[in-house]
């Protein structure tokens, strides 16, 4: 034996010790239940590899040789996989805990397969950046993720949700996408998998959404583990004019190559290379070049970091069937405002058709709200019909083409290379829940600087809130206002503050006719504020007297949802912020508390008193004795001498104190000054900042001084100042009181005689009354009341009809140009100002810049030991998973402010599935059967139902997503196609078995109508909840089949960026054992092809239940995708696998069928249509290596016999068996990084 030196990871060298190696190998084999004979065999292979190395060999390489020896024997005995698992875990534990410092493995870590552990080691487990040692075990990884995601919860419930999230992950029932596993709880913090980036028709733009802006954003996203999707349809076609340079455009394809090169040079987070989805719509003049981009000379050479798809429309597919031509349109020439701003290119934003009834309703509503006319750029929808008319009028149509010729190019190139796929744009938009966001341009709703906004410190002006937030310097780095919507002098930086916002409703008692009055529950909420600058303004005035000055885009809550100020019309109802006093008292945490007598005295002073630079005085009339005594007590508490300052003048008694008295000084200190003239009076600043009890006393003093009860039992407050009454009206909403203000004109002139008998004529101005009626009188009596027996006695409260929670718009008028301030309340997305409810501000509702947080439920885990489905357990775990994904939005760090704004605006999450094929195997259902599609349809519905119930519960608990609109939100399930229609459209028929019907019958019932009613009333936390993406390495971690795909191959060499694995499907091995066929010879035969479907020597039941991807006809792939798509609000990403001998006609048929059955898109992959692919079938890889001159191990040849089985259709004699694979071994072979990809754009 030659001398060998082992090099440790820290660089230390030591002699090779055989005994240490034997000990570690023996321990792993022994744990797996393998005997000493196995030890000898394994050590022979390991030592052969070791001593073929140079004199110095890294210790990690020796470990790799051991693992290789274990895993290459899995086809002989599955226990070798267990040995590999133990050996690999020991390597991790030695790093984390230290050699000799641990005694056993955590049972949760032992759930993971060798292949899962290998993936975790290579990509997910945290390592010391210097030594390369692992810093966490697999369970510790799951704990890190669960702890970080649970930190979004309230402190008292974090531990509970930590344990729930951990349970799902450690039991492999749910696993989030790769960025969350890699980055949660680390410095990176990017937790989303995929991002949609805009590419405008400009090199760069002030909004950072031009071509090179997108390149920069792509690089940042790739650096930290995300994938990107781009729509290049806004770019002008090749050869089009570029006015700024007098040159010609190079077209979308040239720029796509730029993005492709950018991908090539940026490694994702140091762990994987990025990938992209590129889309060009079928109307674009460069569509033919796009279709051919990855075929012919471009095959395996051009855009290798892109999957590409054609944006396909219904009009095209119908023209294809009818033989009518279709237009190719230059998007630049369809500009709505004749500029080169591609946000205004009509054809880019066109969707839906004029003959759709719901579209007509939307357009009619818009026209009615806008006086019969609305610019297209301000409309929610630009239809294809309108965009085409614009294109024809502006000469934008480059050519009319035969759709058949274009479609033939698509299917031919897809057959050749797998690209392009199709995205059915109209199907996507038709089932898009928040469709109304797709056409809204940048908005910036704000309130004027003098508007009173409710905060924990009371009612404060918007300007005051901003100035204090800025002064304290709490700048919110991640919140940047869009500069393009700032006014003159505006500042884009937001500052953190706190507002009191509506978070729910609570009923009050005592309403007549059993009607329920609900008042707003309010609570302090974190918010952001920034100064928008000077902008044109509108004043919204209600018939009841409430008014506020806002920007044109400012949104108010109406019975039909949120509506902009410029859309309001006389008679429209907007929400009044009538607050529940119990909750207001808790929310006003930093207000001023006064002695109740002092607060009463200040209220009386405002109502019937005077304060000048010389004196302060309170005036009383007959019947005010109780009030007089209470004010005297207040003066005494302020340090004044109340007994010596009373003056009786005719019928009026006055308490008066000069400027030198203590009482005067204290009053001035508290309230400043009061205008001497009644018609100019306003509430003193202190009144806005009183705590609830002090406010009640202040109002009691004011109403006793100036208030009365009338003939109609209403309570009235009279004053010459309408502004004062408007102030009081706002304060009354704080305690849930509805009020109205009326003007009451006096006789314009009257005369009176002076003491000298001189007659003078006095011109009087009108006066005003604030009235409180109906149930609000009860609230007033209970909380405020009169300090007067006479007035109290006059109150008649027998009638208790409910009063409004809405007020009516009287007019909306121009208010010139004023200063504006903007607020965003990230949790509840609404706030209270001027007594009204206002929408969360600072939003730009565009679909671009959005990201999605993905995670998958492992369906295999919900098959019970007796072959049933745990429907209840699945439903509960779906709810936990949705909460997990929603929390990810709150704890994630965002790379770009645009992304954070968009993500938080809609809070989209994407719960998907994996293990579908394995679930079918465990249930004994063939993938390519009507039974499987039937079960898929009803299983998908159950997951969707529970996911949406979870989002509803979160909305009730935490508030709906900011862009929620009860009227416009589209319940995606309302358009779900019945399964019978899908079967009919596909031409597939068959009877559902009684066994599968029984499985579905055991599912608890769903009530979509009831759910929709609740959602309309209370909202959703997430605009979209479901998305089925290719799970890739996540399904390897879960030890299950990928996404909703069939089993790719029963035995294969998998080539991924983290290494090369030999895999034999564990369920298949288990099935072979049940049939007594679990010997190396049989497995070797299967591994040769990766399939058993065409093997007559394998039992029929196994051949039916274990079809592989290329055994299955394309129609079954499409039916599975369609069945799941009906109950998924976002996309279902699935590969339609085809055998190598599939024809162009097969691809054509698949594309047409996918459109008819309601798929949102389709991607086909014909075997061998790409030079590199991520999975190679079994022993075929060995042959490939042999052809390429790679070194192969010489197999030992033996005869093999397949054991007899009761269900085997044939018995095989030894002479019938091939003799070249008695010992099946696949030599290690790794393709270069970036040369393979199983839908790398979406795989997470």
Residues 330 and 236: beta-carbon distance below 8 Å = yes
Between helix 930-958 and helix 916-923 the angle, nearest 10°, is 130
The answer for 781, left when phi > 0, alpha when psi is -120 to 50, beta otherwise, is alpha
Count Cβ atoms within 10 A of the Cβ of residue 1228 and give its class: 0-12 exposed, 13-18 middle, 19 or more buried: middle
444 catalytic per annotation: yes
Reported as a single tens digit per residue, the pLDDT across 961-981 is 888 888 888 898 988 999 999
CB neighbours of 670 closer than 8 A, spacing ≥ 6?
Answer: 594, 598, 602, 684, 686
Is the pLDDT at 1055 greater than 80? The verdict is no
- Which candidate, 501, 546, 508, 506, places its Cα nearest to that of 807? 546
Residue 1157 and residue 977: Cα distance in Å, rounded? Answer: 8
What share of the chain has pLDDT > 90, as a percent?
43
Q: Out of 125-129, 659-663, 1212-1216, pick the least confident.
A: 1212-1216
pLDDT band for position 949 (50/70/90)?
Answer: very high
Q: What is the pLDDT of residue 302?
A: 76
Tell me what pLDDT residue 101 has: 93
CA distances to 87, 352, 1058, 1062, 1151 from 115, rounded to whole Å, are 12, 47, 11, 9, 35
Q: Report the range of poorest mean pLDDT among 287-296, 432-441, 466-475.
A: 432-441
Residue 479: what pLDDT?
41
Which among 194, 228, 446, 841 is annotated as catalytic? 841
In the predicted model, what is the mean pLDDT of residues 732-751? 78
3-state DSSP assignment of residue 190: coil
More confident residue, 1060 or 454: 454
3-state SS string for 1022-1060 = CCCCECECCCCHHHHHHCCCCCCCCECCCEEEEEECCEE
Which has more pLDDT, 1089 or 698? 698
Q: By C-alpha distance, which of 829, 913, 971, 862 is closest to 1133?
A: 913
Structural tokens at position 114: 């060798």
3-state class of 1061 per DSSP? Answer: strand
* Most distant CA atoms of the chain, gap in Å: 142
Q: Is the peptide bond before 1034 cis (omega within 30 degrees of 0)?
A: no
**Does pLDDT of 1238 surpass 70?**
no
Stretch 1150-1173: mean pLDDT: 80
Is the CB of residue 834 less than 8 Å from the CB of residue 968? no
d(CA 1070, CA 1050): 12
Q: Is the pLDDT of residue 394 over 50?
A: yes
* 272 contacts 226 by C-beta, under 8 angstroms: no
Mean pLDDT over residues 273-286, rounded? Answer: 86
Is the predicted pLDDT of residue 1131 greater than 50, yes or no? Answer: yes
Tokens of 746: 């006096």
| pLDDT class of 247 with cuts at 50, 70, 90 | low
Pairing of β 56-58 and β 5-7 = parallel
d(CA 334, CA 340): 10
Instruction: Look at phi and psi of residue 371 and say left if phi exceeds 0, alpha if psi is from -120 to 50, else beta.
Output: left
Q: Count of CB atoms within 10 A of residue 679's CB?
A: 15
pLDDT band with cut points at 50, 70 and 90 for residue 301: low
CA–chain centroid gap for 492, Å, is: 25
Given a cut of 50, whether residue 226 has pLDDT beyond it is yes
pLDDT value of position 909: 92
Whether the CB-CB separation of 1048 and 1042 falls below 8 Å is answered with: yes
| Res. 982: pLDDT tops 60 | yes
d(C-alpha 1177, C-alpha 1189), whole Å: 19
Model confidence band, residue 760 (pLDDT cutoffs 50, 70, 90):
low
273 or 161, which is more confident: 161
The CA-based angle 561-565-571, given to 5 degrees, is: 75
Which segments within 1089-1193 are labelled E, that is strand? Answer: 1135-1138, 1161-1166, 1175-1177
647/653 Cα distance (integer angstroms): 6
Classify each residue of 101-119 as buried b or exposed e, where b means 16 or more C-beta atoms within 10 Å of its C-beta: eeeebeebbbbbbbbbbbb
190 vs 602: which has the higher pLDDT = 602
Q: How many CB atoms lie within 10 A of CB 415?
A: 20
Mean pLDDT within 381-397 = 93
DSSP letter string, 482-532: -GGG--BT---EEEEEEEEEEEEEEEES--GGG--EEEEEEEEEEEEEEEE
Query: What is the share, in percent, of the chain residues with pLDDT greater than 70?
Result: 84
For the cut 60, the answer to whether the pLDDT of residue 478 exceeds it is no
- Our answer to whether residue 843 is catalytic in this structure is yes
Interval 553-568 mean pLDDT = 81
**Closest C-alpha among 525, 465, 518 to residue 495:** 465
Architecture of the domain made up of 593-804 = Roll (3.10)
Residue 1075 is classified by DSSP as T
Question: How many CB atoms sit inside 10 A of residue 680's CB?
Answer: 12
Cα 46-48-49 angle, rounded to 5 deg: 65
Mean pLDDT, all residues of the chain: 83
CA 599: distance to chain centroid? Answer: 48
Ranking 53-62, 86-95, 865-874 by mean pLDDT, the lowest is 53-62
Q: Is the pLDDT of residue 1059 over 50?
A: no
Contact between 509 and 778 under an 8 Å Cβ cutoff? The reply is no
Q: How confident is the model at residue 175 (pLDDT cuts 50, 70, 90)?
A: very high
What would the mean pLDDT of 669-682 be, rounded to a whole number? Answer: 76
* Full strand arrangement of the beta sheet holding 707-709: 707-709, 715-719, 767-772, 740-744
Distance CA 847, CA 858 (A): 30
DSSP bridge partners of 653: 620, 648
CA distances from 1005 to 932, 998, 1008 (A): 20, 14, 10
Of residues 67, 843, 901, 1045, which has the active-site annotation?
843
pLDDT at 1214 over 80: no
**Which of 307, 444, 774, 965 is an active site residue?**
444
Query: Token match 């630079």: residue?
Result: 613
| Residue-by-residue DSSP string for 98-133 | -TTS--S--TTGGGS-HHHHHHIIIIIS-B-TTT--
pLDDT-derived band at 299 (thresholds 50, 70, 90) equals: low
The residue among 978 and 270 whose pLDDT is bigger is 978
Pick the residue with more confidence: 960 or 443? 960
User: Is 841 among the residues known to form the active site?
Assistant: yes
pLDDT at 749 over 70: no
Strands 652-658 and 615-620, sheet pairing: antiparallel
Kindly report the backbone phi and psi dihedral angles of residue 84, in degrees, each rounded to the nearest multiple of 5, phi listed first. Answer: -60, -35
DSSP annotation of 74: T
The whole-angstrom separation of Cα 1030 and Cα 1121 is 12
Strand partners, 424: 312
Other CB atoms closer than 10 Å to residue 1186's CB: what's the count? 12
840 — pLDDT class (breaks 50, 70, 90): low
Beta carbons of 541 and 574 less than 8 angstroms apart: no
**Whether the predicted pLDDT of 1208 surpasses 60:** no
- More reliable by pLDDT, 890 or 380: 890
| Tokens at 944, concatenated | 């969707």
Q: Which of 50-59, 262-271, 637-646, 860-869 has the highest mean pLDDT?
A: 860-869
At residue 1193, the pLDDT reads: 34
Which pLDDT score, from 0 to 100, does residue 474 have?
54
pLDDT digits (tens, 9 = 90+) for 768-812: 999 999 889 999 999 999 999 888 888 777 666 778 889 999 999
Contact (Cβ atoms closer than 8 angstroms) between residue 149 and residue 179: no
Q: How confident is the model at residue 250 (pLDDT cuts 50, 70, 90)?
A: confident
Q: Output the pTM of the full model.
A: 0.66
Nearest CA to 557 out of 829, 820, 847 is that of 829
Per-residue pLDDT tens for 94-146?
A: 999 998 899 999 999 999 998 899 889 888 999 988 888 999 999 999 999 99
Distance CA 83, CA 78 (A): 9
User: Among 761-770, 856-865, 938-947, 1177-1186, where is mean pLDDT lowest?
Assistant: 1177-1186
pLDDT at 1234: 26
- The angle, 0 to 180 degrees and rounded to 10, between the axes of the packed helices 1144-1156 and 1114-1125 is 20
What's residue 827's pLDDT? 56
Give the pLDDT confidence of 680-723 residue by residue, as tens digits: 788 999 999 999 999 999 999 999 999 998 767 889 999 888 99
Rounded Cα distance, 1199 and 886, in Å? 58
From 504-518, 591-605, 1042-1056, the region with the lowest mean pLDDT = 504-518
Check residue 828 and give its pLDDT: 63
Task: Give the model confidence (pLDDT) of 497-519 as tens digits.
Answer: 899 988 777 777 544 445 668 88
One CATH from 2.120.10.30, 2.170.16.10, 1.10.10.10, 3.30.420.40 for 447-578+807-839: 2.170.16.10
Closest of 342, 569, 495 to residue 842, by C-alpha: 495
Q: For the chain, what are the domain ranges? A: 5-112, 194-348+382-407, 447-578+807-839, 593-804
Residues 6+ apart with CB under 8 A from 1231: 1055, 1172
Predicted confidence at residue 680, as pLDDT, reads 76
Q: Do residues 903 and 851 make contact, with C-beta atoms less than 8 angstroms apart?
A: yes
In this prediction, residue 751 carries a pLDDT of 52
Query: Which residue, 904, 902, 857, is CA-closest to 884?
Result: 857
């Amino acid at each position: 034996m030659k001398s060998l030196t082992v090099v440790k990871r820290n660089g230390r060298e030591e002699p090779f010790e055989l005994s240490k190696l034997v000990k570690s190998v023996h321990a792993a084999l022994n744990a797996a239940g393998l005997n000493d004979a196995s030890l000898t065999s394994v050590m022979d292979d390991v030592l052969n590899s070791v001593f073929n190395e140079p004199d110095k060999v890294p210790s990690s390489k020796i470990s790799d040789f051991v693992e290789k020896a274990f895993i290459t024997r899995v086809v002989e005995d599955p226990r070798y996989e267990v040995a590999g698992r133990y050996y690999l875990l020991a390597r991790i534990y030695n790093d984390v805990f230290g050699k000799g410092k641990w005694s056993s493995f955590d049972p949760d870590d032992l759930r993971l397969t060798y292949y899962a552990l290998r993936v975790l080691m290579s990509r997910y487990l945290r390592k010391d950046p210097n030594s390369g040692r692992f810093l966490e075990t697999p369970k510790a990884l799951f704990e890190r993720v669960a702890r970080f995601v649970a930190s979004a919860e309230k402190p008292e419930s974090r531990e509970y949700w930590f344990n729930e999230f951990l349970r799902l992950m450690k039991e492999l029932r749910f696993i989030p996408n790769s960025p969350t596993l890699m980055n949660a709880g680390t410095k990176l913090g990017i937790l989303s998998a995929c991002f949609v980036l805009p590419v405008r028709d400009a090199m760069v733009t002030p909004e950072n959404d031009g071509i090179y802006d997108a390149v920069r954003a792509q690089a940042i996203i790739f650096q930290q583990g995300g994938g990107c999707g781009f729509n290049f349809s806004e770019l002008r076609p090749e050869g089009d004019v570029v006015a700024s340079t007098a040159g010609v455009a190079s077209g979308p394809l040239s720029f796509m190559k730029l993005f492709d090169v950018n991908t090539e040079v940026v490694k994702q987070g140091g762990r994987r290379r990025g990938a992209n989805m590129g889309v060009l719509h079928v109307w674009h003049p460069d569509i033919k070049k796009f279709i051919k981009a990855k075929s012919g000379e471009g095959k395996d050479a051009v855009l290798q970091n892109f999957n590409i798809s054609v944006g396909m429309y219904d009009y095209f597919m119908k023209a294809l069937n009818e033989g009518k031509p279709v237009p190719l349109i230059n998007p630049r020439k369809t500009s709505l405002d004749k500029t080169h701003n591609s946000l205004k290119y009509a054809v880019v934003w066109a969707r839906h058709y004029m003959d759709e009834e719901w579209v007509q309703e939307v357009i009619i509503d818009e026209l009615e709200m806008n006086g019969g006319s609305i610019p297209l750029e301000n409309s929610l929808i630009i239809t294809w019909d309108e965009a085409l008319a614009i294109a024809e009028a502006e000469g934008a149509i480059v050519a009319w083409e035969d759709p058949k010729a274009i479609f033939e190019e698509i299917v031919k190139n897809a057959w050749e290379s797998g690209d392009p796929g199709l995205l059915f744009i109209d199907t996507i938009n038709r089932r898009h829940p928040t469709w109304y966001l797709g056409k809204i341009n940048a908005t910036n709703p704000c309130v004027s600087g003098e508007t009173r906004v409710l905060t924990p410190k009371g009612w404060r002006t918007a300007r005051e809130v901003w100035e204090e937030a800025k002064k304290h310097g709490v700048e919110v780095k991640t919140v940047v206002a869009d500069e393009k919507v700032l006014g003159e002098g505006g500042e884009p930086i937001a500052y953190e503050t706190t507002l009191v916002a509506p978070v729910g409703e609570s009923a009050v008692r005592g309403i007549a006719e059993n009607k329920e009055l609900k008042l707003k529950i309010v609570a302090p909420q974190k918010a952001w504020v920034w100064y928008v600058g000077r902008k044109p303004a509108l004043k919204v005035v209600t018939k009841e007297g409430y008014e506020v000055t806002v920007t044109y885009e400012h949104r108010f809550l109406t019975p039909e949802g949120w509506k902009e100020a410029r859309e309001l019309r006389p008679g429209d109802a907007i929400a009044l912020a009538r607050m529940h006093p119990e909750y207001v008292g808790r929310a006003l945490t930093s207000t001023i508390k006064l002695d109740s007598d002092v607060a009463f005295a200040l209220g009386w002073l405002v109502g019937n008193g005077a304060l000048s630079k010389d004196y302060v005085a309170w005036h009383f009339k007959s019947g005010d004795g109780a009030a007089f005594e209470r004010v005297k007590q207040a003066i005494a508490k302020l340090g004044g001498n109340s007994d010596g300052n009373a003056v009786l003048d005719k019928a009026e008694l006055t308490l008066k104190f000069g400027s030198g008295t203590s009482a005067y000084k204290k009053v001035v200190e508290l309230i400043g000054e009061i205008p001497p003239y009644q018609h100019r009076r306003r509430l003193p600043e202190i009144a806005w900042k009183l705590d609830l009890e002090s406010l009640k006393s202040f109002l009691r003093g004011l109403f006793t001084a100036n208030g009365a009860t009338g003939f109609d039992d209403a309570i009235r407050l009279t004053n010459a100042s309408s502004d004062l009454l408007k102030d009081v009206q706002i304060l009354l909403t704080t305690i849930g009181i509805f009020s109205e203000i009326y003007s009451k004109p006096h006789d314009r002139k009257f005369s009176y005689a002076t003491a000298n008998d001189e007659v003078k004529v006095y011109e009087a101005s009108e006066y005003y009354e604030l009235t409180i009626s109906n149930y609000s009188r009860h609230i007033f009596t209970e909380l405020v009341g009169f300090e007067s027996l006479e007035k109290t006695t006059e109150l008649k409260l027998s009638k208790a009809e409910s009063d409004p929670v809405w007020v009516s718009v009287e007019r909306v008028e121009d208010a010139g140009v004023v200063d504006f301030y903007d607020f965003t309340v990230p949790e509840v997305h609404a706030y209270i100002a001027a007594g009204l409810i206002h929408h969360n501000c600072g939003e730009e509702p565009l679909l671009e810049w959005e990201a999605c947080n993905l995670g998958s439920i492992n369906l295999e885990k919900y098959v019970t030991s007796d072959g049933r489905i745990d429907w209840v357990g699945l439903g509960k775990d779906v709810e936990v998973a949705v909460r997990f994904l929603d929390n990810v939005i709150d704890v994630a760090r965002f790379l770009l402010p645009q992304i954070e704004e968009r993500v938080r605006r809609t809070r989209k999450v994407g719960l998907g599935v994996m293990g579908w094929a394995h679930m079918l195997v465990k249930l004994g259902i063939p993938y390519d059967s009507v039974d499987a599609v039937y079960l898929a349809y009803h299983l998908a519905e159950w997951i969707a139902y529970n996911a949406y119930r979870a989002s509803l519960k979160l909305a009730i608990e935490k508030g709906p997503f900011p862009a929620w609109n009860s009227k416009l939100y589209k319940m995606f399930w309302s358009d779900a196609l019945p399964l019978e229609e899908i079967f009919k459209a596909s031409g597939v028929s068959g009877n559902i078995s009684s066994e599968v019907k029984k499985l579905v019958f055991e599912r608890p019932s769903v009530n979509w109508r009831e759910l929709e009613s609740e959602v309309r009333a209370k909202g959703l936390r997430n605009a979209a909840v479901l998305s089925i993406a290719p799970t890739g390495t996540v399904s390897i971690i879960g030890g299950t089949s990928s996404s909703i795909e069939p089993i790719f191959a029963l035995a294969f060499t998998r080539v991924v960026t983290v290494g090369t694995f030999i895999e034999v499907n564990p369920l298949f091995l288990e099935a072979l054992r049940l049939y007594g066929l679990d010997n190396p010879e049989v497995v070797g035969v299967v591994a040769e092809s990766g399939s058993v479907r065409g093997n007559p020597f394998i039992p029929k039941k196994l051949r039916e239940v274990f079809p592989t991807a290329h055994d299955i006809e394309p129609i079954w792939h499409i039916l599975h995708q369609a069945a799941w798509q009906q109950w998924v609000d976002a996309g279902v990403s699935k590969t339609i696998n085809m055998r190598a001998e599939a024809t162009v006609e097969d691809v054509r048929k698949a594309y047409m069928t996918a459109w008819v059955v309601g798929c949102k898109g389709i991607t086909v992959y014909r075997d061998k249509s790409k030079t590199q692919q991520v999975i190679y079938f079994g022993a075929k890889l060995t042959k490939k290596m042999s052809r390429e001159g790679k070194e192969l191990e010489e197999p030992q040849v033996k005869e093999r016999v397949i054991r007899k089985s009761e269900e085997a259709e044939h018995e095989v004699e030894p002479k019938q068996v091939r003799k070249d694979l008695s010992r099946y071994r696949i030599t290690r072979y790794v393709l270069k990084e970036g040369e393979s990809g199983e839908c790398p754009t979406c795989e997470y």
